[in-house]
């Protein structure tokens, strides 16, 4: 599904990504984690075809990401950008319907009746009662849920999420990621998400790709990635890592004031 081969990305004189190589299989959920400013959002833009690498290549289903036409790609790839939606005068339902643009003709029409699809997306994100509200009347968290519903109605095979839980309280963070995970499993969709919360990343992602100093520091299942040594090396933080009592996935607890070489599992 996704291949990155010796990808380098420079912005001005700064090299953001350095010789990045990896592959991601179809039908799995991947998390991209790492410190601020390490290039996570830059990598998402490269995977989406919006930006091009300085050297190396990103391929999607065997074809260079930059070689796709934007509308062609939007028929099977959707992106939820960091920050969600800006304030507009459109209603919630109207904005969600905009997700069907790749499938419409030049008159804004498509052969398929998508009312049920829109209703399902509204219900999935808890927005049914807000569907006639204008976007500029919503909170940041509500706009983020609208943004996800909008990409849901694209029915993508590949979904890219850049910090999707921004602006959401903990209840809606779990609801959003539960929805994405259920949707991913039901449709055998591939999901790549930039996540800051390592505990959420470990819970929802099949594999985690760790960026550090512009390179892939680790890539594998959470049990092999979320370990105290990596947390110390990559994030400069001391942590206890324990299995979650209900799911068994690794969860970390920060250790303030502990010596750098003191780890407990």
pLDDT tens string 48-57: 999 999 999 9
pLDDT of the residue at 259 = 52
In a domain, 232, yes or no: no
**What percentage of the chain has pLDDT greater than the value 70?**
95
Which helix (H) or strand (E) covers residue 74, if one does? helix 70-74
Q: Round to whole Å and give the CA distance between 211 and 234.
A: 8
Q: Mean per-residue pLDDT for 22-33? A: 97
In a domain, 103, yes or no: yes
Q: Mean per-residue pLDDT for 83-91? A: 76
List, for residues 182-228, the tens digit of each pLDDT value.
999 999 999 999 999 999 999 999 999 999 999 999 999 999 999 99
Whether 249 has a pLDDT exceeding 50, the answer reads: yes
pLDDT of the residue at 265 = 36
pLDDT of the residue at 264 = 39
In a domain, 216, yes or no: yes
Of the given ranges (81-90, 92-101, 157-166, 240-249), which has the lowest mean pLDDT? 81-90
In a domain, 38, yes or no: yes
CATH number of the domain that 90 lies in?
3.40.50.300
In a domain, 44, yes or no: yes
Pair 92, 131: CB distance under 8 Å: yes
Give the CA angle between residues 143, 159, 83 to the nearest 5°.
Answer: 30
**What percentage of the chain has pLDDT greater than the value 90?**
72
Q: Mean per-residue pLDDT for 132-140? A: 91
* R_g of the chain computed on alpha carbons: 19
Q: Round to whole Å and give the CA distance between 70 and 51.
A: 12
pLDDT band at residue 83 using 50, 70 and 90 as cut-offs: low
Whether 96 has a pLDDT exceeding 80, the answer reads: yes
Of the given ranges (22-26, 107-111, 196-200), which has the lowest mean pLDDT? 107-111
Q: Round to whole Å and give the CA distance between 168 and 176.
A: 9
Find the domain containing 66 and state its range.
2-223
Whether 32 has a pLDDT exceeding 60, the answer reads: yes
- Phi/psi class of residue 62: alpha, beta or left (left: φ > 0; alpha: ψ in -120 to 50)? left
Whether 21 has a pLDDT exceeding 60, the answer reads: yes
Specify the residue for token string 């939606």. 85
Domains: count for the chain:
1
Alpha helix segments (H runs only) across the chain: 40-48, 70-74, 92-97, 115-124, 140-152, 170-187, 198-204, 222-225, 228-230
List phi, psi (to 5°) of 180. Answer: -60, -45
pLDDT band at residue 97 using 50, 70 and 90 as cut-offs: very high
Q: Give Dmax (Cα) for the chain.
A: 65
Q: Mean per-residue pLDDT for 163-180? A: 87
Q: Round to whole Å and give the CA distance between 186 and 68.
A: 26
In a domain, 174, yes or no: yes
In a domain, 246, yes or no: no
In a domain, 257, yes or no: no
Instruction: State the CB neighbour count (10 A cutoff) for residue 248.
Output: 9
């Amino acid at each position: 599904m996704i291949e990155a081969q010796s990808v380098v990305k420079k912005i001005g004189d700064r090299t953001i990504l350095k010789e990045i190589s990896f592959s991601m299989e179809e039908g799995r959920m991947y998390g991209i984690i790492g410190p601020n400013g390490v290039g996570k959002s830059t990598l998402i833009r490269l995977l989406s075809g919006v930006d091009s690498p300085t050297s190396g290549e990103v391929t999607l289903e065997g074809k260079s990401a930059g070689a796709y036409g934007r509308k062609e790609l939007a028929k099977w790839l959707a992106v939820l950008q960091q920050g969600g939606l800006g304030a507009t005068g459109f209603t919630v339902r109207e904005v969600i319907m905009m997700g069907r643009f790749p499938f419409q003709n030049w008159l804004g029409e498509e052969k398929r009746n998508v009312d049920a699809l829109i209703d399902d997306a509204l219900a999935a994100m808890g927005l049914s009662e807000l569907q006639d509200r204008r976007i500029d009347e919503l909170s940041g968290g509500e706009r983020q849920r609208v943004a996800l519903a909008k990409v849901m109605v694209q029915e993508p095979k590949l979904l890219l999420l850049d910090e999707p839980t921004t602006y959401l309280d903990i209840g809606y963070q779990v609801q959003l990621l539960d929805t994405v995970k259920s949707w991913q499993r039901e449709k055998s969709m591939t999901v790549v998400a930039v996540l800051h919360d390592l505990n959420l990343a470990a819970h929802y992602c099949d594999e985690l790709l760790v960026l550090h100093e512009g390179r892939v520091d680790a890539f594998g299942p959470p049990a092999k990635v979320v370990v105290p040594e990596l947390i110390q090396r990559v994030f400069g933080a001391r942590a206890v890592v324990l299995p979650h009592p209900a799911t068994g996935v690794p969860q970390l607890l920060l250790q303030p004031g502990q010596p750098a070489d003191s780890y407990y599992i």
